[in-house]
Structure 1
Amino acid sequence: MTRVVGGVHPLVTADALGYAYPDGRRALRDLSLDVSAGEVLGLLGPNGSGKSTFLRLLAGDAAPGIRRAPEVDNPRARWLATDQPVFRRWLSGRENAAALLELRGASVSEARATAAAWLARFGLADDADRPAGTYSSGMRRRLALAIAFGAAPSLLLLDEPLAGLDPDGAAVLATALSGHRADGGTSVLSAHDPGFAAAHCDRVAFIVDGRCEATDTPARLLARVGVRPRVEIHFTEAGPEDASTLEGVPDGVHSAMWGERAVTLEVEDPRHALPDTLSWVLRAGLSVNSVDVRTPTLADAFLVLTGRRLAEDDR
């Protein structure tokens, strides 16, 4: 029987999924994660954590530990845009896109029209008739995304879709993901950008060493760890070793972490805490060089919940 989560049935369920490369290295270790119908699910984790392997298994025909709902059991219902797209170098971007869409069953005219529309959306209209072999890595990425969204699969799988995209390209990707969801599609994407994941994913899964360590909405992940905003005050000269040398710690400051030339203050509300904290250090005779305000991100939540940093390289 299909398990129902929050009124929406899982489109794909990974249950204690494991995978090892031919050389014996373990890529996935008892990974358990549901992909709910109609959501955008983001996978966050360091390099080598198993995100790409998981996406490939979701796209494949059969893998022990993966169960699919009937609507995505047919391979034509799934599409994987890999992190290193490969095209026929001698064909143009337009020809590559149209050929792949025709292979999915579109008529010649439908494939050409869809290819033209999505190439334009991803900023490739002026380069559509150039050989794909002359494309930069960023252009190849945009071509792969144009084809993936043009294919309109029920389950869209994107491996590092932000790689090589400028801010305009990332904005187009965000709009395309929203449109795909509005049309009833489901998307799973891996990313290194916690800001993009927080803004555009319905849920985020933290993947470490081939396991899913936590999954929830971005807001609930941050609430679970109680990460507060931080005010970083940098000094022109070395500051005190700890806050005990300063009197009258301002209200709303929960903790202070001192460095040689800076203090990081965990605060309730930066707007209210900033004037008081600046006055606090100035009264102590410290010379302020700069002030930064950091709002909590999923990278902070990832560190608290997994004990690992997103930027580290596992292998």
Structure 2
Amino acid sequence: MTTSYAVLSEGLEKRFGEVHALRGLDLAVAEGTVCGVLGPNGAGKTTAVRLLTTLLAPDAGSARVAGHDVVRDQDAVRRAIGVTGQSTSVDIELTGRQNLQLFARLHKMRGPAGRARAAELLEQFDLLDAADRAAGTYSGGMRRRLDLAASLITRPRVLFLDEPTTGLDPQSRNRIWAAVRALTAEGTTVLLTTQYLEEADQLADDVVLIDHGRAAVSGTPAELKARIGSYAEVVVAHAHALPQAAAVLDQLTGAEPHLDADRLTVGVASADPTLTLPRIVRELDAAGVPILDAGLRPPTLDEVYLRLTDAATSRKELVT
């Protein structure tokens, strides 16, 4: 079966003076999926979103969104997408209902159709009780949900979410996640940039790690975790035992352990399928390391992210 892509870019480049924000970015986001785009600050995530949503023109390369070229068919791209940026776009002096009706009018959805769509979104995002209050009185989570609702006025084929839950409390974040899941269940494609690894793990069908303006690593969350293997973590009895435990784990795995002096833990990722918890405990005991607890589990996406980012940086240093 041929895969249809809602977002497809090849060799996207963008400079801002001396800053080379994108250095040949390739992306392929299948229709009806969530693609999580991860990367450290300055990696190029927001620049990529601005290029794909026609807010910027690329210096080189090409991209198509919903089948339309982002340079030659900008109007068609804009009709097909919704965008929720890092800052909310709602007017705090208008009520929630007035905000959505205003966005409806901007999209030429006037009269009963616009009012009906606004009411539908207010109910969908659990904002009916606050619909006739000024948006300036909303909590951060409510305002973010209103902003997301505004980006869905036209039922876009592709939705761009640029760090949509930054600064939100866990309950508000869960509500945004539920809304994203509902959208993809209806067939909307979502490109999500985030710095919350748990968010990508919860929502994304595929993950792309951007590093220094390029797609350094990509795959499903499960595939990326499988590249790391397992994660061993040991809790020692006192801080003096941390270096000794780290030496044992280093010898067992050949990887550099991570020490946390506050938690008295030593952790290390290992791709060795033969590594077992009894073997770890046996080696620590043989070395005389006093431990309180030990575990071996699949890695979190946070650990994958840190490991693969380090690997990508090392490769860049080797090349340069």
TM-score of the aligned structures, taking structure 1 as reference length: 0.78
SS at match of 1:177: helix
Q: CA deviation at 1:87?
A: 2.4
Residue pair 1:229, 1:266 contacting (<8 A) in 2 also:
yes
SS at match of 2:151: helix
2:221 to 208, 218, 222: 218
**Once the two structures are superposed, what CA deviation does each residue of 1:250-288 show, in whole Å capped at 9, x if it has no partner?**
xxx75684857544365799xx95577567757876554
**Which residue matches 2:98?**
95
Q: Distance in 1 between matches of 2:25 and 2:216?
A: 9
**Which residue matches 2:267?**
264
SS at match of 1:35: strand
- RMSD over aligned CA atoms reads 3.5
Amino acid at match of 2:63: R
Gaps in structure 1 of 5+ consecutive residues: 1-5, 311-315
**Which residue matches 2:212?**
209
Count how many residue pairs are aligned between Structure 1 and Structure 2.
296
**Which residue matches 2:10?**
15
SS at match of 2:179: helix
Q: CA deviation at 1:57?
A: 1.1
Q: Distance in 2 between matches of 1:303 and 1:266?
A: 11
Q: Give the direction of change, closer, same or farther, for the CA distance of 1:258–1:26 in structure 2 (3 Å limit).
A: closer
Bigger shift: residues 182-191 or 255-264: 255-264
TM-score of the aligned structures, taking structure 2 as reference length: 0.77
Residue pair 1:237, 1:287 contacting (<8 A) in 2 also:
no
Q: Give the direction of change, closer, same or farther, for the CA distance of 1:165–1:150 in structure 2 (3 Å limit).
A: farther
1:296 to 274, 296, 299: 299
Residue pair 1:13, 1:68 contacting (<8 A) in 2 also:
yes
Q: Distance in 2 between matches of 1:25 and 1:227?
A: 36
**Which residue matches 2:318?**
none
Q: Distance in 2 between matches of 1:67 and 1:291?
A: 48
Q: Distance in 1 between matches of 2:20 and 2:254?
A: 40
Q: Give the direction of change, closer, same or farther, for the CA distance of 1:152–1:70 in structure 2 (3 Å limit).
A: closer
**Which residue matches 1:3?**
none
Q: CA deviation at 1:303?
A: 2.9
**Which residue matches 1:313?**
none
Q: Give the direction of change, closer, same or farther, for the CA distance of 1:230–1:151 in structure 2 (3 Å limit).
A: farther
Gaps in structure 2 of 5+ consecutive residues: 314-320
Q: CA deviation at 1:51?
A: 0.8
Q: Does 1:128 align with 2:131?
A: yes
Residue pair 1:138, 1:163 contacting (<8 A) in 2 also:
no
Bigger shift: residues 30-39 or 186-195: 30-39
Q: Does 1:25 align with 2:19?
A: yes
SS at match of 1:17: strand
